[in-house]
Every structure is written in structure tokens, then in C-alpha cells.
Chain A
Amino acid sequence: MTMPWLGRMALMLALTLALYAMVVGWRLRRSEKPSWQESIRGAALAVALSMTVAVLALEYCILTGDYQVQAVYNHSDRALPFFYKIGVLWGGDSGSVLFWGWILSLYTAYVAVRGWPREPRMTPVVVPLMMAGMVFFSGLSNVAVNPFRLVAGHPSNGVGLDPLLENAVMTIHPPAMYTGLIGMTVPAAYVVAAVWNRIPWREWVPIVRRWMLFSWMLLGIALILGGMWAYMELGWGGYWEWDPVENAALLPWLTATAFLHALQLEEKRGLFRLWTAGLGVGTFLLTLVATYITRSGVLKNSVHSFTGTGVGPYFVVWFWVALIFSAIVFWTRRDMFRDRFPLEGTFSKETVYLLIDLSFSVLAAVVVLGTFYPVISKAFWGQTVVLNERFFNDMTRPFFLLLILLMGAAPVMGWRLARIGRVARGLKWPGLVGLATMLFTLIHEYRNPWAIFGMGLAAFSATSMLQEYGRAAWIQRRAHGLPLFRALARAVGSNRRRFGGYLAHLAFLLVVFGVIGSHTNATAVTQVMKPGQTVWVKGYALHYGGFENRLHRGYVTTSAAFTVRYHGKTWKAAPGLSFFSGSTQPVADISIHHGWMRDLYLVLEGSPGGQQALLEVMINPMVSWIWLGMVVLAMGTLVALTAPHGRDQSWTRPSEREGGWLAWDGIGTMTEGRDSR
């Protein structure tokens, strides 16, 4: 008995238990017998336990250097530092599928243990549905990509991890990405279960919203972390290039964002229900598409190295099974999708939300089309046509700008019918700040009209959000005589969902500022430098001192020593190239000096001879705003997630019932009618 043997046994047990919980759980979903219910819940826990044993067994093989296990042999070696060895688990295909299944098993166990007593009408359906996913992933691990497969002989060392992946960000990015993507299974399963059992919308929307919000946050963080890794490791000074694998992860994030807004519309007005439910299930299906794109190698134009490993066809089958099943459930229960209220005024919050949903859905469609265009063009015209960054930028830009505009308008719009005069008054300051920002960018050498307009719009929306904070704090201060900061804290604390949401929107706007700023006024200079020479680039003085060599465990680094001066400050920079044994291509060690308004980004391209350095100097404005956006996104979502259960879950506001916008200065009246649907 060895550790790989234990892992294989645990995987087989997980598959058997998942099959049991799926089949028996589905057959007995209406059973009132507590012993069977307890057994199914126990099976969900036991699957999680078995998968945990399998994951720990593989991790043990990785950390102890059991190179007879193929997953260890292919992606690890003796020289690999301990921290990066942890990440070897998801570095390869078989380990990734195991890791995916493990996270899904943990989600399922949590739902079975905590969700079952709370939601006894839906969870007996949710658990077998999620177990179907477990059957798929544990089946893949048992049959197609067994992580415990052994190699011939007894190798004493492995091939090693791709040097580009030896980065702290890359150790955090995949788990965040997986946890986010897999988490989207839970809301989709709840949507199907609720429709299947005809559960009133107001009962399940709050549950689904929380699950999706959590997964959406993780996926958002993972997307930005992926960009951070590209920026720090790849050496081209960018963070996003519309690569198929990047697009694959963006797709479910786009539809999840649309879904979260559609839930808001459902909660307040009960509108567009089929679309809302479709977005929930569609987001889950897109996570499968994302995995298919990443793992199948169907798109050869990706810079990512883990493609083409043969699991793609299985994901296609799983995608179609899930799609057809969901479609049948929706069709047989189509009476569930009747709107609660009709759409009345065109100038209202409903219209804004509708346009937001439409924009995100169109963006998702554009990204799908652009990503799969090489396959489509090959199938129809016999020629592989790859769409470049320009296509994606040109196609998505108008929709992103529309979204930013709507984001600023939404807080001051009323449900049913907004009053134009009041909306105009509410948007006066945001509009002025937006115009001032456009002027400011024009003075600061912005010449691209899209960038100027985008900066203005982002400032407009950010001011609109901040105005809401200010207004709430002012009311609290007036009502309770509190100091400003405490008034603000009280305002946010008393409606965490709303203000957490605004914070997440501000995070998006920070990313927008960063993207526009870094794409508009970036500078790149390539220079051959001799020791003792100094060059000036946009106020930075770079003095080159010569090459230095450093020997590390498993690789050698040659770096160029620079002294940099900027605005009276001096610091050392050492861009370099690392040469790994067994790899012909050196890996760039990029030197980045981060700043809030600009980064100094130095890449050593090589040497024309002797001590001469071929250096690429880039000045990238406002990139740090994107990383700050990630932190603010996490903060905002967490604030929203900590909102207590209670009134904000399911009630209908008086203004939603009678149509007036009850403003903060007390205009409007209360009415008698109650809506309990």
C-alpha cells in the first residue's frame, strides 16, 4: 500500500458515493423519510472527505518528491521551492481536474449540511444536481486523467514546473479562479431546483444572489490576479490581450454580472424572469465552456501552455447534458416565468437595469464570437482567421462606455417612473465633475477622444456613487448629530448591501481609470546602453552600471544594475534574464517600480555584446489603479455579503408598489397595498 494507491482508492470511493447520492438522492427527493435524507447528506460529506484524502495524497507525493507519479514527474523537480511545490497540484491537467472536483465536493458538502435544514424544499434537488457534477469530475479523474498514474521506472527527479509559473501570484490565481468558477455551480443548481419545484421567486432569489456574489467576487479577483501575473512575468508591459484563455474566464464573469443585476430587477419588480433564470444557468454553462477552451486546445492561438490534453470532448458532452436538462426543466415549468409587474415607464430604473443586462449579455456574445472565430472561420470558409486585440477593443468599447454611463445614472433613478427634473438635479454634480475631468485629461496630453470621453464618464459615475455616500452620511448626521465619519459608518452599516454594492461599482471604475490611463499615455523606448551611460525617459534618469550574475538553486540570473533618479528620489533597479537548466528560452526578470500615477517598467531584452545591455524602458500610467480596484472589489463585495438577513431580502418598497420615487428630502406618500408574491 502506497500513497498513490490510497489516492486511487479514495477517488474510486468518491465516484461510487457520488453516483449513490445522485441516483438515490434524485429518486428520493420528495421522500419525507429522515433516514434516507440523512444518508444522502452523509454521502455528500463522505464524497468531500474522500476527495480531500485524494488531494492530500497527491500533495504528499508532490512535497516528498515521489516522481514515479506522472503528475509529479511532469510538473515538479527537486530544485523547486516548497511554496511553488504546493501549486504543482493544479499545474497539470490531471491535478487540475482533481482540484476542481475537490472544490465542488466541498461546496456540495456545505450545501448538504447547512442548506438542507434551511431550505428543505430546494436542497434535496440541489444536492443530486451537484452530485451529477461530482460524478463527472470524479469519473474523469478515475478514467481519463488519473492523477495517480505511474511512469515507467523509478525516476529520481522530475521535468519541473514552467519557470513562468514560479510566481507568488500564480500560486494564488488558480485557486481563486477555480473557487469562483466552481462556485457558480451552486446558484445554477438552486435556480434549476427552484424552477423544478415551483418555489416562489422571493424565497430563493436572496440565496442565489449571495452564492453568485461570492463566486463573482472570487472570479473578479482571479481575473485581475491573472492580469497582474502577465504584467509581472511576461515582459510586454500589458496585463490583458484578449487571449482565448483570458476570454474564457471573462465570459462567466460578464454573464454573472448581468445575472446579479437581473436579480435586482426580479427582487424589486419581478421582471424578465426567463432571462434572469437563463443567465444563472448560462453562467454555469459558460464555466464549462471556459474549461473546455482552456483544456481542450481547440484554440491554438493561446499563449497559455496547458492546452491540448484530451479532456475537451468530455466537457462538450457534460455541457450538452446540462444544457438540455436545464432547457427541459425550463420548458416544462414555463409558467414560472410570468412577470410579476408589467414594464411601465421607459424613463425608469427598470430601463437602466434592462440596458445594463443587455450590455453585459452583448459583451458576452461578442467575446464568445471573437474567441471562437478561428474555429467558425475554419468550419465555414476553410481558413483559420484569428481576431486580434483591435476587434475586441472596437467591439466592446461602446458597450463598456454605455455601462459606465448607466452605472452613474442608476442611483438617482426611481423605479417605475423617474422624474426627469429630480434625476437632472441628482446628476448635476456628477456631470460637472465628468466635464472637468475631460478638460483635465485634455490638458494632460490625452488626444484620443474615446479615452477623454471614457475618463469623463468614469469620473461622472464615481461622483454619482460618492454622492450617495455623502447624502446618506449627511442625513445620518442631521438626524443623529453624529460626526461625519461616524455618520458615514452608520449609514453604510445600516444598509451594507447597497453601499457594499456602490463600493464594488467604484472598484470597477478604478479598473476603468487604470485601463484607459495605461492604454493612452504609455511610453516605450528601446535602448542599447554601455556601462556608465545615463538615459532620460520622461523625467526618469537611468544610470547603467554593468551586468551582475547570480547563481540560484536550479537557475542562473544575469541582471543589469541600474540606479534610477526621479523627482529627487533615487533607487536601484535590476532587470535581468534567468537561465533554467533544461530550458533553452531565458525568462525575463522584470523590474517594476510601482507608483500611483505611473510605473517604471524595465525589461532586459539581451546584450549586443560585452557589457552592453539592450534595455526596454516603459512608463505605464495608472496601472496600480487596477490592482487597487481588486482590493476595493473584495471589500465592497464582502460588505454586501455581510448584510444581515431581514427586510432587505425580499420586501417590496412602497415606491415600487405605487410608483413614486420617495426622495431623501421627504417627498412622496405611503400607500396601503401590500404585495406578497
Chain B
Amino acid sequence: MTTEGILAVLLGVSTASLVVVPLLRPMEYPLPQRPPNVVDGAWVEQWLDDHFCGECGSPRDMRDLMCGQCGAQLVPGEGMS
């Protein structure tokens, strides 16, 4: 068999394993799904406010009262108040 023939067989086998085999193999688990809109949860917002400046988005310390990046006023983090 020539090199071209071997390559053609390899291509065919790879294609079959990628496209056909998943259809023959029963899969019970779904693909990973993103949880519904966790970003909208209030606790996430609070966590983000505690760790990032609300104005420019740069990381902050919970004790900071002024952003080190843009100088915006910050509310002390939940852990401090």
C-alpha cells in the first residue's frame, strides 16, 4: 500500500471515530451546561464589589477607601462593615 493510501485510510478512520462513533455510543451525561445566569446573582455582585473597583474594574483591597487605579471612592467591603 502506498503512503497516500495509508493516509487516506487514516483519514477515513479518524472521521468515522469522530462523527459516527458518538452516535453509536449511548451517552447518558449531558455536555457541561453553564448554570443559569450566575452573574446576575446579588452575592456575585457583592463579591465583585468587595474585590474590584466598581468604576474601573481594577482589583482592590476590602479596606481601601479609594481605588488605587482610578481614584474613585470605594465602599468598605462586606467583611469590614
- Bound Cα distance A121, B72 (Å): 37
- Bound Cα distance A34, B26 (Å): 9
How many whole Å from B22's CB to the nearest CB in chain A?
4
Assess whether A1 is interfacial by the CB under 8 Å rule.
yes
B residues 49-73 with Cβ under 8 Å of A?
A: 51-52, 54-59, 64, 66-73
Chain A 630-668 per-residue mask, 1 if CB under 8 angstroms from chain B, else 0: 000000000000000011101101110000001111101
Q: Provide the residues of chain B in CB contact with A116, threshold 8 Å.
A: 31
Q: List 27 A-B contacts (CB under 8 A).
A: A3-B4, A5-B4, A10-B11, A34-B29, A38-B27, A39-B19, A42-B17, A46-B14, A46-B15, A46-B18, A49-B11, A50-B15, A116-B31, A202-B39, A472-B70, A475-B68, A480-B68, A491-B69, A495-B57, A646-B48, A647-B52, A651-B48, A665-B71, A666-B72, A666-B73, A668-B73, A676-B40
Does A39 lie within 8 Å of B22, measured CB to CB? yes
Closest to B32 in A: A117
Q: Provide the residues of chain B in CB contact with A121, threshold 8 Å.
A: 34
A37-B31, A53-B11, A648-B57 known; A45 and B73 CB under 8 Å? Answer: no
Q: Provide the residues of chain A in CB contact with B71, threshold 8 Å.
A: 475, 663-666
A39-B19, A495-B57, A674-B45 known; A32 and B30 CB under 8 Å? Answer: yes
Closest to B41 in A: A676
How many whole Å from B18's CB to the nearest CB in chain A?
3
A residues 109-126 with Cβ under 8 Å of B?
A: 116-121
Q: Provide the residues of chain A in CB contact with B11, threshold 8 Å.
A: 9-10, 13, 49-50, 53
How many whole Å from A479's CB to the nearest CB in chain B?
4
Assess whether B20 is interfacial by the CB under 8 Å rule.
yes
How many whole Å from A290's CB to the nearest CB in chain B?
32
How many whole Å from A53's CB to the nearest CB in chain B?
6
Choose one: A6, A38, A49, A655; the contact of B14 (CB below 8 Å): A49
Choose one: A118, A495, A647, A650; the contact of B34 (CB below 8 Å): A118
Assess whether A2 is interfacial by the CB under 8 Å rule.
yes
Chain A 23-36 per-residue mask, 1 if CB under 8 angstroms from chain B, else 0: 00000000010111
How many whole Å from B75's CB to the nearest CB in chain A?
5
Assess whether A43 is interfacial by the CB under 8 Å rule.
yes
Does B25 lie within 8 Å of A35, measured CB to CB? yes
**A residues in contact (CB < 8 Å) with B:** 1-3, 5-6, 9-10, 13, 17, 20, 32, 34-39, 42-43, 45-46, 49-50, 53, 116-121, 200, 202-203, 472, 475-476, 479-480, 491, 494-495, 497-498, 646-648, 650-651, 653-655, 662-666, 668-670, 674, 676
Does A495 lie within 8 Å of B22, measured CB to CB? no
How many whole Å from A466's CB to the nearest CB in chain B?
16
Does B15 lie within 8 Å of A117, measured CB to CB? no
Does B7 lie within 8 Å of A653, measured CB to CB? no
Choose one: B23, B45, B72; the contact of A668 (CB below 8 Å): B72
Does B52 lie within 8 Å of A13, measured CB to CB? no
| Top 7 A-B pairs, shortest CB-CB distance | A664-B71, A42-B18, A38-B22, A479-B68, A494-B58, A647-B52, A648-B57
Does B18 lie within 8 Å of A43, measured CB to CB? yes
Does B40 lie within 8 Å of A120, measured CB to CB? no
Closest to A479 in B: B68
Choose one: B22, B30, B37; the contact of A42 (CB below 8 Å): B22
How many whole Å from B24's CB to the nearest CB in chain A?
8
Does A120 lie within 8 Å of B34, measured CB to CB? yes
- Bound Cα distance A472, B48 (Å): 21
Q: Provide the residues of chain B in CB contact with A13, threshold 8 Å.
A: 11-12, 15
Q: Provide the residues of chain A in CB contact with B59, threshold 8 Å.
A: 494
- Bound Cα distance A663, B11 (Å): 60
Does B57 lie within 8 Å of A651, measured CB to CB? yes
Q: Provide the residues of chain B in CB contact with A42, threshold 8 Å.
A: 17-19, 21-22
Question: What would 17 more interface pairs be, CB under 8 Å, given A37-B31, A117-B31, A668-B72?
Answer: A6-B7, A17-B15, A34-B30, A35-B22, A42-B18, A42-B22, A46-B14, A49-B11, A53-B11, A120-B34, A203-B39, A494-B59, A495-B69, A648-B57, A650-B39, A668-B73, A670-B73
- Bound Cα distance A202, B39 (Å): 10
Assess whether B81 is interfacial by the CB under 8 Å rule.
no
Q: Provide the residues of chain A in CB contact with B2, threshold 8 Å.
A: 1
Does A34 lie within 8 Å of B56, measured CB to CB? no
Does A662 lie within 8 Å of B73, measured CB to CB? yes
A39-B22, A476-B68 known; A2 and B4 CB under 8 Å? Answer: yes
Does A17 lie within 8 Å of B19, measured CB to CB? yes
A495-B57, A648-B57 known; A35 and B26 CB under 8 Å? Answer: yes
Does A674 lie within 8 Å of B42, measured CB to CB? yes
How many whole Å from A525's CB to the nearest CB in chain B?
53
How many whole Å from A112's CB to the nearest CB in chain B?
11
Q: Provide the residues of chain A in CB contact with B31, threshold 8 Å.
A: 34, 37-38, 116-117, 120
Closest to B1 in A: A1
Does B73 lie within 8 Å of A6, measured CB to CB? no
Closest to B17 in A: A42
Q: Provide the residues of chain B in CB contact with A651, threshold 8 Å.
A: 45, 48, 54, 57
Closest to A117 in B: B32
Does A479 lie within 8 Å of B19, measured CB to CB? no
Closest to A664 in B: B71
Does A669 lie within 8 Å of B73, measured CB to CB? yes
How many whole Å from A582's CB to the nearest CB in chain B?
32
Q: Provide the residues of chain B in CB contact with A200, threshold 8 Å.
A: 37
How many whole Å from B33's CB to the nearest CB in chain A?
5
Kindly name the residue among A36, A480, A498, A647 whose own CB sees the greatest number of chain B CB atoms within 10 A: A647
How many whole Å from B7's CB to the nearest CB in chain A?
6
Q: Provide the residues of chain A in CB contact with B26, threshold 8 Å.
A: 35
How many whole Å from B45's CB to the nearest CB in chain A?
6
Does A6 lie within 8 Å of B4, measured CB to CB? yes
Does A43 lie within 8 Å of B19, measured CB to CB? yes
Closest to A47 in B: B15
- Bound Cα distance A45, B33 (Å): 21
